[in-house]
Amino acid sequence: IHLARETIKGCENRGRRRRGRGSSSSESELSMNPRVQRYLVAIEYIGTRFSGSQQQAKDRTVVGVLQEAFRKFVGQPVKILCSSRTDAGVHALSNVCHIDVERISKRKPGEVLPPHEPGVVQRAVNHFLQGNDGDVMVTDVRSVPSNYHARYKARERTYFYRLLSGSDPLSILEKDRAWHVPEELDLRSMQEACRVLVGSHDFTSFRAAGCQAKSPVRCLDEFNVIEVPSTPYFPSIMERAESILNNGDDPLTYPSQTKTETASDTTNFGGTFGIRRRHRCYVVTARARGFLYHQVRLLVGALKCVGTGELTVSDIERILEAKTVSAAKPMAPASGLYLARVKYELP
Q: Are strands 136-144 and 80-82 parallel, antiparallel or unpaired?
A: unpaired
If you average pLDDT over residues 8-13, what whole number do you get? 44
131: which DSSP letter?
T
Does residue 176 have an active-site annotation?
Answer: no
Select which of 87, 186, 249, 265 is catalytic: 87
Q: Dump strand ranges (E) for the chain.
A: 37-45, 80-82, 91-101, 136-144, 156-165, 179-181, 199-202, 217-220, 222-228, 280-288, 337-343
Please, is 224 exposed, middle or buried when counting C-beta atoms within 10 Å of its C-beta (0-12, 13-18, 19+)?
A: middle
User: Does the global pTM surpass 0.85?
Assistant: no
Return the half-sphere exposure (C-beta side, CA atoms, 13 A cut-off) of residue 212.
Answer: 1
- pLDDT at position 244, please? 74
Give the residue from 32, 44, 26, 27 showing the smallest Cα distance to 7: 32
- pLDDT at position 328, please? 77
**Which residues touch 194 (CB under 8 Å, ≥6 apart)?**
223, 224, 225, 284, 303
Main-chain dihedrals φ then ψ at residue 310, nearest 5 degrees:
-70, -30
Give the residue from 165, 276, 258, 182 showing the smallest Cα distance to 249: 258
| pLDDT tens string 152-195 | 999 999 999 999 999 999 999 999 999 999 999 999 999 999 99
If you average pLDDT over residues 68-89, what whole number do you get? 94
If you average pLDDT over residues 52-66, what whole number do you get? 92
**Per-residue pLDDT band at 252 (split at 50, 70, 90):** low
Q: Would you say residue 258 has pLDDT above 70?
A: no
Structural contact between residues 324 and 203, judged by C-beta atoms closer than 8 angstroms: no
If you average pLDDT over residues 210-233, what whole number do you get? 90
